[in-house]
Amino acid sequence: MPLLEMTNIHGGYGGANILNGVSIAIEADQIGVIVGPNGAGKSTTLKALFGLLKVGEGSVVFDGRPVTNMAPEKLVLEGLSYVPQEFNVFPTMSVEENLEMGAYVRRDSFRHLIDQVYGFFPPLKDKRRQPAGELSGGQRQMVAIGRALMTEPRLLLLDEPTAGLSPRYMGEIFDRIVAINKAGVGILMVEQNARQALALAHRGFVLAGGKNRFTGTGADLLADPEVAKSFLGGGADHA
């Protein structure tokens, strides 16, 4: 049974629908990647999943339980975690305080989780008392992901984790994402850097106009000439 099953999702921000029948399914421990042109509804799909906008039609089932339109506070308890694309840290709070906030819903001790995050992102350990807003873009992204890991999610939702990062940091972040996934966390991420993202995807979803366009393994999609012609090439890896 898939960990996540979104079926025929329709939704938007109030006026016209942005999503016109999107379906996403991934297994536990997989990396799923959503790509597509601007305005295709990639980020919107994540937001619909995490209860940040209203789903009109369609259903979301997580770990066998229906969670359509569930509030974010509850989804966190179900095992989902979300990293927005922008404003994804608490800028005046220190790195360690950001992580503590990530663990807010926990009632047990979580020191070991903080250490685990530092294990994934060593540069953060030295800067743990620094305000997150003062860090570089790449390090901020690390804090953002680290915060989301503090609830030990089954599935981590990442909205363009490498947006605006230099190529060096981009590579680093992708490496860490793979490491996190290997440690047992499912990943569903939206990415502009389609080639690099699909290269490490177990499942890939190409969206356009709020609908699914192509679905397959990352390798299959990269090899597909139609996909390459129509949709690949957005972002830094455009030749």
Partner 1 sequence: MPEAGLLAILPMNEIVFFLNKVVIAGFIIGSVYALGAVGVTLIFGILRFAHFPHGDMMTAGAFAALVLMWTFPGAGAAVGLPTAFVLMPIAMAVTALFAVALDRTFYRPMRKAGVKPVVMVMTSIGVMLMMQGLLRLFAGTGTRQLYVDTDAKDIYRIPLGGRDLVITEPQLLLFATTIVAVVALHLFLTRSRMGKAMRAVSDNPDLARVSGISIDHVVRTTWLIAGALAAAGGTLLALDVTLKPDLSYNIILPVFAAAIVGGVGQPYGAIAGGLLVGFSETLAVFNWSVLLRPLRPYLPEFIEIPAKLAFVPTEYKIVVPFFILVAVLIWRPTGIFKGRVNT
Q: Please state the closest distance from residue 54 (CB atom) to partner 1, in A.
A: 14
In the bound state with partner 1, the residue whose beta carbon lies nearer, of 104 and 233, is 104
In the chain, how many H helices and how many E strands? 10, 10
Quote the least distance from Cβ 152 to partner 1, whole Å.
Answer: 13
Rg value, the chain, Cα: 17
- Interacting residue ranges for partner 1, rule: CB under 8 A: 50, 52, 72-73, 76-77, 82, 84, 87-93, 97, 100-102, 104-105, 147, 151
Closer residue to partner 1 (CB): 34 or 75? 75
Q: Which is nearer to partner 1, 52 or 163 (CB)?
A: 52
| Cβ atoms 221, 34 nearer than 8 A | no
Find out whether 174 and 162 touch, Cβ atoms under 8 Å.
yes
d(CA 223, CA 178): 21
- Quick one: 1 or 108, whose CB is closer to partner 1? 108
β-strand pairing of 155-159 with 31-35: unpaired
> Can you tell me the distance from the alpha carbon of 52 to that of 228, in angstroms, rounded to the nearest whole number?
32
Shortest distance in whole angstroms from residue 98 CB to partner 1: 8
CB of 143 to partner 1, least distance (A): 11
